[in-house]
Structure 1
Amino acid sequence: MSEVYDLLIIGGGPAGLSSAIYGSRSKLKTLVLESKSKMGGQVADYHEMENYPGVVDTTAPELVESFEEHARKFGTEFAKGEVKELELDGFIKTVKTKKGEEYKAKSIVLATGAEPRKLGCEGEAEFKGKGVSYCATCDADFFHDLHVVVVGNGNSAIEEAIYLTKFAAKVTIIVIHEEGKMDAEKLFQERAYANDKIEFVWNSTLQEVKGEGIVETAVLKNVKTGEKTEMDCDGIFIFIGRVPSTDFLEDTDVELTEGGYIKADEDMKTTVPGVYAAGDVRDKVVRQVVTAAGDGATAAVMAQSYLEAEEHWRDNVLKTDKQVVVAFWNPTQDDSLNTLQDIEELGVEADETKKLVKIDTYRNRLITNRYNITKVPTVLIIESGEEVERVENPTEEELARILN
């Protein structure tokens, strides 16, 4: 069997690298699997970085480099590969790449991100990070008293355009529909119409981006007449949606939204035990470097808790030859405390043929949910890894019966 990692992180952006730092620092054998030649995800394609808390003077590549260096300091391993398939059944999970490599891990963090949907027009890729942007919150501050163009007319486009007016002198929104028609909700439309800094160009798309080193001109095309016009501008913000990188999850039990984002709770847990999601690939509202890093840290901490609970259960319950008495309890409930006292008085811990395992239902939701424990106290008798008896709210007589 190949080497088994405690934590395998798919994606080397801020979420993945943050997860690696926390995982490796907790002594988990950690691997980051990144499909691109360099770490950083979307951030690696930008230069300026002014809104990461506590880091006043840095660039995006420098920040990502420090993330990676920090992870390596604690022993994180790195590998290059694009994931093709996941096998998530069982405790040991398998990750297969398009080149045929296989990696095995006990827990996985999915941090593959979400790419802004591209127009694909001429000059767009060339000027990305040099005036072409996909994030107003990230880059608006660079366009103080300048003219910027916004492409898109959905909720996010109009909301971002309004945000840009706090910085730019003028914002021109390019709308593919006829005058007065937008995809955004009426509330956003009304706010945009009422903003003196916003102007609209209707029935048009962005055809080309021009400039000498930085954005200087937006070439627009009228979708009705085919006429092309050039508009001087200092920046172009494109908001036509995002595409999460989740194609490799289609044949797994990881639940996705209609838009393809991963459904995960506030603990970053997905619908598959031991699999977590962090960063822009997760169904969330705010997508910033700082929130991605927070997601990654949470995912690693939860993965560590999962491994501790799972391995303790496997070693002390599923693999033992003894009869296991599992007491599910809550330390705040008198009935639970009384049941534990009754079990101790029956001498279970002194019996060499039995083993007592206590599960705090508040702290260990993994095992609690797996065995469908809905009431506490509950006592299970497990033999050879299989449940043979269950008693909810046991009386002293019932305990004496099942323990003797």
Structure 2
Amino acid sequence: MPKPTATITAKAKDKTVERIKRFLELGDYDVKVTIDPNATDTVVTVGTTTLKNPTPAQLAATMDLLLPKKSSTYDLVVIGGGPAGLAAAINARSLYDLTTLIIEQYAPGGTAATAVNQIDNYLGFDEGIDAGDLCHRAVLQAKKFEAQWLPGYGVTAFKPSDDPKTKKHEITATNSDAPHDAVTVSASLVLLATGVIPRKLTQPTAAAFEDEGIYYYALPADAEGVTAKDTIVVIGGGDSAGRAALMFSGKGAKVVMLIRDTLTKTMLKVISDKIKADKNITVVENTEATEFDAIKTPPPDNPNAKLTVVAKAKSYAVTAVYALISADPQTKWIEDAGITVVRKNETDKYGLAATGLDIFLDAIKKGTFKYEEHKKDLENVTDMATNKPGVFAAGDVRYRAERRIATAAGEGTEAALAMHNYLKANPKVLDAEAGRAAPYYYLA
């Protein structure tokens, strides 16, 4: 299906323009940016609507994403709009008629929408499908079933209830561009599907170029204007970095891959083999970038160069840097709310949400497990349930999850079924006044 279009007119292609562009691209829009030195505002046109200096929430409304209505009470609040969150919301709405709100801090589709590769092994798409297109279809499906959206807001407070029959879970989300703009909602059920966010470079000189030469996503749109006159640095040795390198090389650009270890240590063989055979890609192993600086006057043989990157005492003049160096969950606020978080080792500062048997395994490890006290809970253990009643987790934020789009969607579907079974066992959890699904569970 053809993509909807959007245009941005601004005085310069700065961080604000880049964020707006990426928000629209992650929403599967084809975006054209025009630089006008005389412009006083950043003007965005989406379809027939024109906005000046828009926030993500304003863009979302223009993109026809459903925003919260007057009601602040829901059967289900899904925190995270990636494949896991979308699959859960679609099943919760289509099968169980649960009033549902999706809170997504960045853009519809989550991190999965930034994948550059064609997905060849997703069930039902025999010719493959782009990750962004798959996520866009899922967003349309969620809209079809009237799941409501709150994009551009990040959760800043989460107060889970120990007894949802008498008190609902409470979630406060804040507008990323307007800290005073906060929304508080309550729900009988909560799904934690926040996934992971890209890990950023720690070199002191890197921060100044974020979204202005250094990027932590590589979208297919990034390669559209790339030519043989461009040199791109890709930092990272994983599958995403490899696919990005091949994407830019496919447009004729010279690509330099800076890898801390070796090309084949963690990358899929099918990708590393293609990189080895690609004459446009130079792989520099056992190294990392140490310094970044702006180029005021590009060299004649590299007219598009904007940055210099120093690695192993060698300097590279490049058009852009794409740092694809893994990703981390943001689980501190989850742990602060009393949700059990499991760390892979002592140096793991983030941890992942524990569900099912991992809750009890963690208690055994800490010496707090009491069999007689937990016997009944063990008999009713649910793979997607956390240690708080009515709070579930799915996708990359969950301990033992695999970072694959297909498995995240499967976990979201499984989480919706787990919620359904939880409500059948605890019908009074739903508010008969707020939820249309309440009579079904009361009478079941």
On whether the aligned pair clears a TM of 0.5, the verdict is yes
Relative to structure 1, the CA distance from residue 153 to residue 163 in structure 2 (aligned partners, 3 Å threshold; closer, same or farther) is farther
Contact 1:16 1:296 in 2 (8 A): yes
Residue 160 of structure 1 is matched in structure 2 by 267
Shift, 1:59, TM fit: 3.3
- Are 2:104 and 1:34 aligned? yes
Letter paired with 1:88: P
- Are 2:184 and 1:102 aligned? yes
Residue 417 of structure 2 is matched in structure 1 by 301
SS in 2 for 1:169: helix
Question: Which whole-Å CA distance do the structure 1 matches of 2:217 and 2:429 have between them?
Answer: 54
Letter paired with 1:18: A
Relative to structure 1, the CA distance from residue 298 to residue 203 in structure 2 (aligned partners, 3 Å threshold; closer, same or farther) is closer
Contact 1:94 1:102 in 2 (8 A): yes
Equivalent in 218, 226, 229 of residue 128 of structure 1:
218
User: TM-score when scaled to structure 2?
Assistant: 0.53
Contact 1:151 1:206 in 2 (8 A): no
Contact 1:151 1:157 in 2 (8 A): no
1:157-306 alignment to 2 at 5 Å? 158-160=265-267, 164-169=271-276, 200-202=285-287, 204-205=289-290, 207=292, 220-222=309-311, 227-230=313-316, 238-239=324-325, 241-258=326-343, 259-265=350-356, 267-284=383-400, 286-306=402-422
User: TM-score when scaled to structure 1?
Assistant: 0.58
Shift, 1:288, TM fit: 1.7
Question: Which whole-Å CA distance do the structure 2 matches of 1:158 and 1:233 have between them?
Answer: 27
Contact 1:14 1:289 in 2 (8 A): yes
Shift, 1:221, TM fit: 2.1
Question: Which whole-Å CA distance do the structure 1 matches of 2:265 and 2:354 have between them?
Answer: 26
Residue 74 of structure 1 is matched in structure 2 by 145
SS in 2 for 1:103: strand
Shift, 1:141, TM fit: 5.7
Contact 2:257 2:284 in 1 (8 A): no
Residue 364 of structure 2 is matched in structure 1 by none
Residue 158 of structure 2 is matched in structure 1 by 86
SS in 2 for 1:5: strand
Question: Which whole-Å CA distance do the structure 1 matches of 2:158 and 2:86 have between them?
Answer: 21
Residue 33 of structure 2 is matched in structure 1 by none
Indicate the percent of aligned positions where both proteins have the same amino acid: 26
Contact 2:99 2:147 in 1 (8 A): yes
Larger Rg belongs to: 1
- Are 2:77 and 1:8 aligned? yes
Relative to structure 1, the CA distance from residue 278 to residue 167 in structure 2 (aligned partners, 3 Å threshold; closer, same or farther) is same
SS in 1 for 2:78: strand
Deviations along 1:159-185, one digit per CA (max 9) or x if unpaired, are: 1276642321269xxxxxxxxxxxxxx
Question: Which whole-Å CA distance do the structure 2 matches of 1:285 and 1:209 have between them?
Answer: 40
Question: Which whole-Å CA distance do the structure 1 matches of 2:337 and 2:408 have between them?
Answer: 24
C-alpha RMSD of the superposition: 4.2
What is the count of residue pairs matched by the alignment?
284
Comparing 83-92 with 242-251, which one deviates more in the overlay?
242-251
SS in 2 for 1:31: strand
Residue 115 of structure 1 is matched in structure 2 by 197
Contact 2:118 2:131 in 1 (8 A): yes
Shift, 1:231, TM fit: 8.1
